[in-house]
Structure 1
Amino acid sequence: MLDRQGYFANWSALHSNIDPGSVRFVAPWLRVMYAASRPLVARGVSPHSVTAAGVVMAAAAVAASAAGAHWPLLAAGVIALSALLDGVDGAVAVVGRSESRWGYVLDTVADRCSELLFLGCAFVLGAPVPLLIAIGASTLLQESARARAVAAGLDDVGVLTVWERPSRVVTALVLTIGCGLVPSSSAFVALMSSIVGVTLALIGFVQLMAVLRRRLS
């Protein structure tokens, strides 16, 4: 089992040699991930199991959102747990020295599944379908373009846009918390959250494409 210093060094190597201490909030977040992963590694829990649990939590958030009334507040908690597990699975793999290319692919697919399920929460809470389709399409296009750019020789993520996974999680949290606190205004909250989401998704896609064009030309 890696110690915390080894985990930080390994994380840096997997993320274009970024110094965790040089980016605000990254080092504290990694400390939390390390602390959460150690008991799981000690008990022999597979990182794939943690990844699957994160997707299950995202699906449970859809069910909680569909219950209406104040149940979306529970959905918000489940979404937060799903996002936490998304970080813990990678930490379990690194700390337990069980990283694999298959695990990397599985984690990426699980992220996209969870994000589509977050859109499912928005759908059952009354968000307009065309906006949800636009968000989903823009998100998948952004991640597909990034993946192809890496395959074409880009040696890092290219650029961190305004629509990365944390932004997607926060948007889902704002949606479910707002609808849970004011059930009578769920349709309005869902509409506004969708407008914000599609705006950020489109801006993020344009940001990424502009950088990729410059760096791959």
Structure 2
Amino acid sequence: MPTQRAPQTRGPAVPDRAEYLRRWSRLHGGAAATGLVRAWLGGVHVLARPLALARVPPAAVTLAGTALAASAAWVALVAGPGGAPAVAVAVLVVAGGLLDNLDGAVAVLRERTSDRGALLDACCDRVGDAACALVLLGCGAPAWLAALAGGLAQLQEYLRARAQGLGARDVGVVSVAERPVRIAVAAACAAATAIAPGQAPWALLGAAAWALLGAVGLVQVAVALGRRL
């Protein structure tokens, strides 16, 4: 009598990088991920796959990322620029930023996107942006410039949210000042104050670059939304 084999069970299917980028584009109004944003999303996909396979709730990843971002701001404000604390700040900023992107990636890969998850993510993103601005302040940036940089980021995202409330389903553009860029600027400035202290006003340069990119990005988003409305 032939031996019957037990049916093999497979784990949950997780899309590859190309499919993930396609899903991300659909969720962002058909905007194509290019440059730094595309590279960032590629790395996020690699890290998100194990979490998706392990069925980690996206909301848990969101909250963990926000906690790390807030911790980075606190360390920067208390310890100031330079030394081991600045390195810790850079690590916390990058880790928080990764988790902040991993939550959405996990939700996309598991097809668990929801309105509640999107609302939680949006609120935590604004906290993360404020934390990055506070990192620049703690690293030595002028208060007015750090506030300007952070304010431009908040305004850009407010435009997106308000336009969606008015009926615009998508933006259709990835600006030069998206969250990966803001996170990279804050982390790089913190690290530079430890690696090359005194060689340049790193926090001032970082805040100025963020503000300049933020102004350009705000115009990009405003023009794109103006066309859709």
TM-score by structure 1 length? 0.83
Q: 1:189 to 1:146 in 2, by over 3 A?
A: same
Question: In structure 1, what is the equivalent of residue 227 of structure 2?
Answer: 214
Q: How far apart are the structure 1 equivalents of 2:89 and 2:150? A: 20
Aligned pair partner of 2:115 in 62, 86, 101: 101
Q: How far apart are the structure 2 equivalents of 1:31 and 1:198? A: 26
Question: In structure 1, what is the equivalent of residue 101 of structure 2?
Answer: 87
**Which segment is superposed worse, 100-109 or 66-75?**
66-75
Question: In structure 2, what is the equivalent of residue 40 of structure 1?
Answer: 51
Unmatched segments (≥5 aa) in structure 2: 1-11
Q: How far apart are the structure 2 equivalents of 1:74 and 1:151? A: 39
Q: How far apart are the structure 1 equivalents of 2:212 and 2:35? A: 25
Which has a greater percent of helix? 1
The structure number with the bigger radius of gyration is 2
Instruction: Using the TM superposition, give the Cα deviation of residue 31 of structure 1 relative to its aligned residue in structure 2, in angstroms.
Output: 5.2
Q: How far apart are the structure 1 equivalents of 2:23 and 2:176? A: 26
**Which segment is superposed worse, 54-63 or 99-108?**
54-63
The 8 Å contact of residues 139 and 193 in structure 2, kept in 1 or not, is answered as yes
Unmatched segments (≥5 aa) in structure 1: none
Q: 1:39 to 1:69 in 2, by over 3 A?
A: same
Query: Cα RMSD over matched residues?
Result: 2.6
Question: In structure 2, what is the equivalent of residue 2 of structure 1?
Answer: 13
Matched to 1:141, the amino acid is L
Matched to 1:142, the amino acid is Q
The 8 Å contact of residues 44 and 101 in structure 2, kept in 1 or not, is answered as yes
Aligned pair partner of 2:218 in 185, 188, 205: 205
The 8 Å contact of residues 176 and 217 in structure 2, kept in 1 or not, is answered as yes
Matched to 1:210, the amino acid is V
| 2:33 corresponds to 1:15 | no
Matched to 1:52, the amino acid is L
Q: How far apart are the structure 2 equivalents of 1:215 and 1:44? A: 37
Equivalent pairs counted in the alignment come to 213
Question: In the TM superposition, what are the counterparts of 1:120-135 in structure 2 within 5 Å?
Answer: 120-135=134-149
Instruction: Using the TM superposition, give the Cα deviation of residue 196 of structure 1 relative to its aligned residue in structure 2, in angstroms.
Output: 1.6
- Provide, for residues 65-99 of structure 1, a one-character-per-residue CA deviation record: whole Å limited to 9, x for no partner: 34243221221122111121122111222333432
The 8 Å contact of residues 193 and 202 in structure 2, kept in 1 or not, is answered as yes
Aligned pair partner of 1:59 in 53, 64, 70: 70
Instruction: Using the TM superposition, give the Cα deviation of residue 128 of structure 1 relative to its aligned residue in structure 2, in angstroms.
Output: 0.9
The 8 Å contact of residues 177 and 214 in structure 2, kept in 1 or not, is answered as yes
**Tell me, what secondary structure is at the counterpart of 2:82?**
coil
Matched to 1:205, the amino acid is L
**Tell me, what secondary structure is at the counterpart of 1:4?**
coil
Instruction: Using the TM superposition, give the Cα deviation of residue 50 of structure 1 relative to its aligned residue in structure 2, in angstroms.
Output: 0.5
Question: In structure 2, what is the equivalent of residue 147 of structure 1?
Answer: 161
Matched to 2:64, the amino acid is A
Q: How far apart are the structure 2 equivalents of 1:143 and 1:206? A: 12
Question: In the TM superposition, what are the counterparts of 1:189-204 in structure 2 within 5 Å?
Answer: 189-204=202-217
Q: How far apart are the structure 1 equivalents of 2:57 and 2:47? A: 14
Question: In the TM superposition, what are the counterparts of 1:24-39 in structure 2 within 5 Å?
Answer: 30=41, 32-39=43-50
